[in-house]
Chains A and B, each alone.
Chain A
């Protein structure tokens, strides 16, 4: 069956058709689709009728889709029959409708049908989605679109997926830098077409939380404003979330601090007992400044080299990207790991007693170490406190954190110390491969081939701020002579940016010692 016929059929499936007339429109558009496939925009434009060229024109700011069947000079604020409707084009209830364009103005362009979009080349599709971001929300569930995107290379498919999935709100301080860094990290977890297809179909979104705003200030999370997490924290001050709507924090992308002022700080109960006590007399009691059991929550920061973006998106991939088989594999890998007993490390085995100053004629046999589930190494170390008593670590608490933390280790972004045990985390792809081969196999499917570098570069930023850069080379004097150093105060070094994309300095910057966070969360630690 020709490819275009296949697309036509899949796009007409009722379950995913964007409109009642979608199948008719898709079928009608298939011949044009076949003509357009593989053509550049310019080549395709030359093949189009004047109306179709109008359709292809970029929309005006806040533009409204036009009727493709109407004459070009006729104002037509409605969407073309069968075309996908951009949610953003629908005015909010109660909003004043935009005045209809007068005949003196060119008609606003319409949106392409699913089939027409599916027929675009990679570059043209990228351009098209950039000018009509709202349509991505509709296209992503359409089989014809997914089939077309799935025919691109994995890098191209990831680019299209990111254009649809990732949103950078206007409040983000460094929009260019944060977006580039988010794309760098997310792309490293987009190495599989099936996973990408599932993420698109499952309507996953990733939103960058501005360092000057609360997560719940964003529309994707507004429903959680003034509510609590399952473990009793205010949703407002959380700085990361993996789910269908995934939140990643600007400060963690850029290695900066969130605003520590009123915009990102909230009062909360410092323990469940405090909340319970307060609500024995008033079931709706909320924390007030100075109240008993009330603490100030602030976002805190994560240590240099630890990427919450990487971590949260592993949660997203787990729930909405992996197929059922891989989800089952992950569950069983976690159960197996929990049950696996390992001998304690050699350093934890007591040496045989020897009298001071004497050398035993025959070395005594080393005591047999008893394997224990608490000595098995996880991404966040063994399940023991530093005094040897049993504990969990973050990666062993449940299968979500097992996947996300081991994934971060696989990506080389698991720097730091485990909050449960106080032990250093394990990090690096070689460690995961040696200690968690089953999960390493699954992670190889998810991730690109190289580890990530320079995520959350807090220390590098702090060092760069503290170290004056050498004075810029003076301009050569006329005649080629090199002028003597002027002795002027050197200019500050440029602040490094995650990855390699240069970006301007943003936000408040912390000294190197400020990044380790137990103090950042104050009274809520270890409750």
Chain B
């Protein structure tokens, strides 16, 4: 699996459907809400994520998931299990990515999410440098990291999103 190098601090956009929900980086940081901070108050620190909420509707749920998580990977896994989708953050505005992702299912399990826009191939446990593994027709996140090579092959073999979907959704 060609995932030897990767970012030291993974960074993801988190969506619920097409709605941006959270920006999260794998490093000790702060938790930022969309609610106004009272005068004199600062954002609390967190030991393993730096997170910025994008939508008040999901803050309580995201907090519950975070409180139940033991580390960053556990948090991301819980996000996906709870119906959120994660996409590699390459420094673009999350508000430019408001599209419903296509969830790739196999044997009843969600194994990847794909967006019909330029973006990066990454996994929930691994993320390349921002300018590596970028494809013009799809942004893809492998929720099962072992599938990263298969997803890369499919991305390299296609030039359109619908072709990528067709290739990956073929019965095995």
**Taking beta carbons and an 8 Å cutoff, which residues of A are in contact with B?**
223-224, 227-233, 235, 238-245, 271-272, 275-276, 279, 299-303, 306, 308, 311-312, 315, 318-319, 322, 324, 327-328, 330-332, 335, 394, 397-401, 416, 419-420, 516-521, 524-527
Contacts and interface: CB of A to CB of B under 8 A. Distances in A.
Interface string B26-54: 00001111111111111110100001111
A230 B36 contact: no
Contacts of B60: 224, 227-229, 235
B93 A419 contact: no
A385 to B, nearest CB: 12
Nearest to A319: B95
A239 B41 CA distance: 13
A304 to B, nearest CB: 11
Given A230-B31, A516-B40, 10 more contacts: A230-B32, A231-B35, A239-B36, A241-B35, A243-B34, A319-B20, A324-B96, A331-B92, A394-B42, A521-B40
B4 interface: no
B57 interface: yes
A243 B57 CA distance: 10
Contacts of B31: 230-232
A230 B79 CA distance: 14
B98 to A, nearest CB: 9
B35 A240 contact: yes
A284 B57 CA distance: 20
Given A229-B59, A279-B67, A520 B32 contact: no
Contact of B35 (A233, A520, A525, A526): A233
B44 A232 contact: yes
A521 B36 CA distance: 13
Contacts of A279: 67
Residues of B in contact with A, size category: 35 or more
Given A520-B38, A521-B39, A324 B95 contact: yes
B63 A327 contact: no
Nearest to B96: A324
Contact of B40 (A308, A330, A331, A525): A525
Nearest to A275: B67
Contacts of B51: 230
Output the residue of A229, A518, A525 with the most chain B CB within 10 A.
Answer: A229
B55 A243 contact: yes
Contacts of B59: 227-230, 235
A527 B92 contact: no
A240 to B, nearest CB: 3
Nearest to B54: A319
Contacts of B23: 398
B113 interface: no
A138 to B, nearest CB: 22
The majority secondary structure among interface residues of chain B is mixed
B17 interface: no
Nearest to A326: B93
Contacts, number: 145
Nearest to B22: A230
Interface of B: 20, 22-23, 30-44, 46, 51-57, 59-60, 62-63, 66-67, 91-93, 95-96
A524 B67 contact: no
A327 B96 contact: yes
B38 A299 contact: yes
Contacts of A331: 91-93
Given A227-B60, A397-B43, A238 B67 contact: no
A230 B63 contact: yes
Nearest to B53: A230
Contact of A420 (B42, B44, B67): B42
11 contacts: A229-B33, A229-B53, A229-B59, A230-B59, A230-B62, A233-B35, A243-B56, A319-B20, A327-B96, A331-B92, A397-B43
B42 A526 contact: yes
Given A238-B36, A239-B36, A397-B32, A521 B41 contact: yes
A223 B57 CA distance: 8
What are the 10 closest A-B residue pairs judged by CB atoms, nearest first? A517-B39, A240-B36, A518-B40, A227-B60, A300-B38, A238-B35, A229-B33, A230-B59, A327-B93, A331-B93
A228 B67 CA distance: 12
B33 A230 contact: yes
Contacts of B22: 230
A429 to B, nearest CB: 23
Contacts of A516: 39-40
Given A224-B56, A331-B91, A397 B30 contact: yes
Contacts of B20: 319
Contacts of B37: 394, 419
A308 B67 CA distance: 30
Contacts of B46: 272
B42 A232 contact: no
A327 B33 CA distance: 19
Nearest to B98: A324
Nearest to B51: A230
A419 B63 contact: no
A422 to B, nearest CB: 10
Nearest to A227: B60
A241 B42 contact: no
Contacts of B38: 239, 299-300, 517, 520-521, 524
Output the residue of B38, B44, B54, B92 with the most chain A CB within 10 A.
Answer: B38
Given A331-B93, A516-B39, A229 B63 contact: yes
Contacts of B92: 328, 331
Contacts of B44: 231-232, 271-272, 527
